[in-house]
Structure 1
Amino acid sequence: MTAVEERPSETSDGATSSTLYTYDLAPTKREGRRWGAYNVFTLWANDVHSLGNYAFAIGLFALGLNVWGILAAFLLASVLLFLLLTLSGFMGHKTGVPFPVMSRIAFGIRGAKIPAAVRGLVAIAWFGIQTYLASAVLSALLIAMFPGLRDLDTNSVLGQSTLGWITFLALWALQLLIVSYGMQMIRRYMAFAAPTTLITMCALAVWMFVRADWSISVSVDAPLVGGEMWLQILQAAALWVVIYGTFVLNFCDFTRSAKSRGSIIWGNVIGIPVNMIFFAVIVIVLSGAQFTLDGHVITSPTDIVRTIPNMFLLATASLALIALTVAVNLLANFVAPIYALIDLFPRRLNFRRAGVVSAVAGLVILPWNLYNSPVVVNYFLGGLGALLGPLFGVIMADYWLLRRSRVNVPALYSEDPTADYHYRRGVNPRAIAAFAPSATVAVVIALVPFFHAAAGFSWFIGAILAAALYALIADRTSAMSDVDGEAIAVAAE
């Protein structure tokens, strides 16, 4: 159930449909919104410092970018993300509706199930994978503390050891418990996890800096230079935006509870540019110090954590990484499928029940097998991820360019054929006509080896192409409507 303090408002439209309007999908009341700038900041403080992001960022060092190249890539990415997420966040604040309902504006009351389903599928898969990664850290910690448990880590049941199953199910149940208390509990957990994460990662970086005799390598032995370096910087910045392509879409799930636009702006300013530069500095220190020590490039902070000689510090760092991964999962991979499932089955599911269904789905897919299969990750999840850009392009073009942010919120819950967002049987053919070819182009660029050099820009290409096509189709449709209207007027005279 949604938190009491974020209780949704009732729509005054008498044509409201029970298949479109539920307690959890309803717009939030202005007076009940509790998310301030700090809450928005903690969202990014948790998500930016995820294990996956560290692995990606450290990989830039391994690819040959020096310290200044990494900083330039993150600075460019943070500016782009700030602009995109602020625009997306304003939509949630103004309407107070979650992403599946927001999508109805552009795609129609029925067509909106397409973007909601795509976003939900991506999130469910990554929920399972992130839970698995956190459970691996917990298993390693338990074995370090209690060596006798190593015997439970040698067998295999459906691809997981007994200890792996125990730690996975424990973290799986913990996340389900947190979500069962609604968005209020998620907000509180983020407020706790964010400072814990920042302090721990900063302490880990300082410890590594001291181990390396207060010096770090600024690059690998053969760093990139010239045009090759700048191309890698641009690709890194683009890929960093792609990583947040999911969040860019459904940021309204959180900002629908924001107190004001100022809360979104200041939370994004501190949480994205400032926090990302801080993140980049930690990455540089961790990777540069390790390279100074032994000439090797680490692949994840967990590689460093496992080398901590003090058991208390090892346990503290491991638990912080686990808490961080849980926070990221709740934000990026749990909330989105919950709202998508409620939208698909409004009469059967509420926030809590949808959370259970989403969690069970993330379990039965056996995510460790997905993670260990590059084909599945690259083609299935990569292909779905490539669809997010075109979806974003259509939704943004419709809301900001065509409607100029004017939305009839009650009509989002109406099945009346004359309502604003009914279109044709609940589907906007213009949105589909813009999305389908753009999505095809984005997926081809992302997955076909021939376009490997442009694969990192597939999200942007898809988003820009979809926005341009949608605006063009909308203008032509509007022009044709004007001509038809004039013809009817003349005939009437």
Structure 2
Amino acid sequence: MVTSVETATGTEPATGSRLYNEDLAPAKERKWKVYDIFALWMSDVHNLGNYTFAAGLFVLGLSAWQVFTALLFGFVIIYLGMNLMGRVGQKTGAPFPVVARISFGTAGANLPALIRAVIAIFWYGIQTYLASVAITVLVLAIDPGFKSWTEHGFLGLNALGWLCFVALWAIQALILTRGMESVRKFQDWCGPAIWLVMIALAIWILAAGHWSISFTESPKALSTGEQFRQWFGAAGLILATYGTLMLNFCDFSRFTPDQKTVRRGNFWGLPINSTAFALLSVIVTAGSMQVFGEAITDPAELLSKVHSTPILIIGALMFAVATMGVNIVANFVSPAYDLANIWPKRINFRTGGLISAVFALCVLPWKLYSSPAVVNYFLGGLGAFLGPLFGIMIVDYYLVKRGKVDIAGLFDPEPGSPYHYRRGVNPRAIGVFVPTAALTAVIALVPFFEPAAPYSWFIGTAVSAAAYFAVGKRQHA
């Protein structure tokens, strides 16, 4: 898709510009290798939410084999999308909000950046809360004496819940505020660590089930038509789930030395590792049905049935590590850069990370998660905006501007900048984004369109890409 005219000029942005700081500037050190990208995906995938998602597909009636093929199909598409955005980040060396200036303008880039930041901050809090619940369950299993800590609460959360939540919250904030190099080192080992626990859990449940787990049987009889609907729905939902990180993958690829590193790391981390983890989640869930007579989709609940204190302690630590991994990768790095983009001279990566962490605590995520209206309508509605943003940015870079980027211009707020457009905002990008975002939000949220809801990300991406290509070509004619 990228033509030979792809070029980057003006690679030395003006350091005195109000749009510049060292964290937003093109990356000078490119230390991320294939394993670092691979480990990034292990950190992002190996978490309670993805385990429960894959296990839930099995409970709904798909066999282990059908879940495997559906998610493999979805992850192959995600792999291709990550490579597209990864190439932009690797070439420019810039994080997502700066890359967004190419298509939305030096001021207009704050719109996609803030949408991505708000989604990330809310999900950071919710993910931390869900992990703290799992840790609470395991703490009580290890020492029932802590039950008295659950009898009194504050702002809707009991004392033990607060202890577990704040501990996870603080550790994550500490890692992030030490910079992206600390993020790289942390995720290099946290992803593989949870693999060890999951493999051990699978061996335990398979042994308890006498090694007779079926890959073709499902717990619920479905018609052929319903199986097809569930299969394509699963692939669509996994696309929507990873649409968040697909949008800002340049936050990580900017630190890689070449395109081959990005492609190889993505290959091993997405279609290979991610699908394998999903399949392992389904196998463990199928085994729980055979051993306990019910499908247990929460790995923490399943682990609590292991009557061994050392194993419970290790499991609790690993679930904490897994959540920190996905939160830092998917929900923490992005808002740190996004908030820095609002006021580069006052907010750097570390300050943006601290602001994100404080907001994530202040929104009381346990209350948000207990409200279906908030999760489905507010976060679901914002999530539906990500497809149109991705479609506009990719088409603008590859097909409209044909890979030509003026790096210095990305940090130039003056009218002469190629990305100044109209008062810093590209009206064509906004003109395409608003109606397509409204369309995808309606598809995602209105009950009448429920059959199409799993495909809202794909629909938004396709419609916005086509519309922006039409108006963008006229702009450069």
TM score, norm. by length of structure 1 = 0.92
1:296 to 2:298 alignment:
no
Give CA deviations for 1:179-223 in whole Å, capped at 9, x if unaligned.
Answer: 121001111111121221111111111111001111124433433
Bigger shift: residues 397-406 or 137-146 = 137-146
Shift of 1:138: 2.1
User: Which of 171, 175, 200 matches 2:172?
Assistant: 175
Shift of 1:300: 1.8
Shift of 1:157: 0.7
1:337 to 2:335 alignment:
yes
Equivalent position of 1:132 in the other structure:
129
Shift of 1:452: 0.2
Give CA deviations for 1:49-81 in whole Å, capped at 9, x if unaligned.
Answer: 211111111110111101221111011011101
**Which one-letter code corresponds to 1:83 in the other structure?**
L
Equivalent position of 2:109 in the other structure:
112
Equivalent position of 1:192 in the other structure:
189
Q: What is the 5 A alignment of 1:55-454?
A: 55-218=52-215, 219-454=217-452
**Which one-letter code corresponds to 1:84 in the other structure?**
G
Whole-angstrom distance in 2 between the partners of 1:280 and 1:177: 30
Shift of 1:225: 3.9
Shift of 1:347: 2.2
Q: Is the 8 A contact 1:17 1:413 kept in 2?
A: no
Bigger shift: residues 84-93 or 216-225 = 216-225
Q: Is the 8 A contact 1:393 1:463 kept in 2?
A: yes
Equivalent position of 1:4 in the other structure:
none
Q: What's the Cα RMSD here?
A: 1.4
1:21 to 2:20 alignment:
yes
Q: Is the 8 A contact 1:24 1:351 kept in 2?
A: yes
Q: 1:301 to 1:285 in 2, by over 3 A?
A: same
Whole-angstrom distance in 2 between the partners of 1:136 and 1:75: 30
Whole-angstrom distance in 2 between the partners of 1:22 and 1:132: 33
Whole-angstrom distance in 1 between the partners of 2:435 and 2:350: 37
Shift of 1:18: 2.8
Tell me, what secondary structure is at the counterpart of 1:46?
A: helix
Equivalent position of 2:460 in the other structure:
462
Give CA deviations for 1:309-328 in whole Å, capped at 9, x if unaligned.
Answer: 11111111221111000110
Q: 1:320 to 1:78 in 2, by over 3 A?
A: same
Tell me, what secondary structure is at the counterpart of 2:273?
A: helix
Q: Is the 8 A contact 2:128 2:327 kept in 1?
A: yes
Q: How many residues of Structure 1 are paired with residues of Structure 2 in the alignment?
A: 467
Equivalent position of 1:53 in the other structure:
50
Shift of 1:145: 2.6
Shift of 1:17: 5.5
Q: 1:248 to 1:13 in 2, by over 3 A?
A: closer
Where in structure 1 are there 5+ consecutive unaligned residues? 1-9, 480-493
Identity of aligned residues (%): 45
Whole-angstrom distance in 2 between the partners of 1:132 and 1:12: 42
Whole-angstrom distance in 1 between the partners of 2:226 and 2:103: 40
Q: Is the 8 A contact 1:306 1:314 kept in 2?
A: yes
Q: Is the 8 A contact 2:243 2:387 kept in 1?
A: yes
Whole-angstrom distance in 2 between the partners of 1:396 and 1:171: 36
Bigger shift: residues 177-186 or 284-293 = 284-293
Shift of 1:162: 1.0
Give CA deviations for 1:101-143 in whole Å, capped at 9, x if unaligned.
Answer: 0000000000000000000000000110111112112222322
Shift of 1:431: 0.3
Tell me, what secondary structure is at the counterpart of 2:257?
A: coil
Q: Is the 8 A contact 2:126 2:366 kept in 1?
A: yes
Whole-angstrom distance in 2 between the partners of 1:284 and 1:94: 38
Tell me, what secondary structure is at the counterpart of 1:302?
A: helix
**Which one-letter code corresponds to 2:20 in the other structure?**
Y
Q: 1:294 to 1:149 in 2, by over 3 A?
A: closer
Tell me, what secondary structure is at the counterpart of 1:103?
A: helix
Shift of 1:13: 4.8
Q: Is the 8 A contact 1:128 1:367 kept in 2?
A: yes
**Which one-letter code corresponds to 2:155 in the other structure?**
L
Q: 1:42 to 1:13 in 2, by over 3 A?
A: closer
Tell me, what secondary structure is at the counterpart of 1:18?
A: coil
Q: 1:87 to 1:64 in 2, by over 3 A?
A: same
**Which one-letter code corresponds to 1:223 in the other structure?**
A
Whole-angstrom distance in 2 between the partners of 1:145 and 1:300: 17
Tell me, what secondary structure is at the counterpart of 2:269?
A: helix
Whole-angstrom distance in 2 between the partners of 1:11 and 1:260: 17
Shift of 1:350: 1.5
Tell me, what secondary structure is at the counterpart of 2:345?
A: coil
Whole-angstrom distance in 2 between the partners of 1:97 and 1:385: 23
- Higher RCO, 1 or 2 (CA under 8 Å, sep at least 6)? 2
Whole-angstrom distance in 1 between the partners of 2:211 and 2:420: 64
Q: Is the 8 A contact 2:54 2:279 kept in 1?
A: no
Where in structure 2 are there 5+ consecutive unaligned residues? 1-9
TM score, norm. by length of structure 2 = 0.95
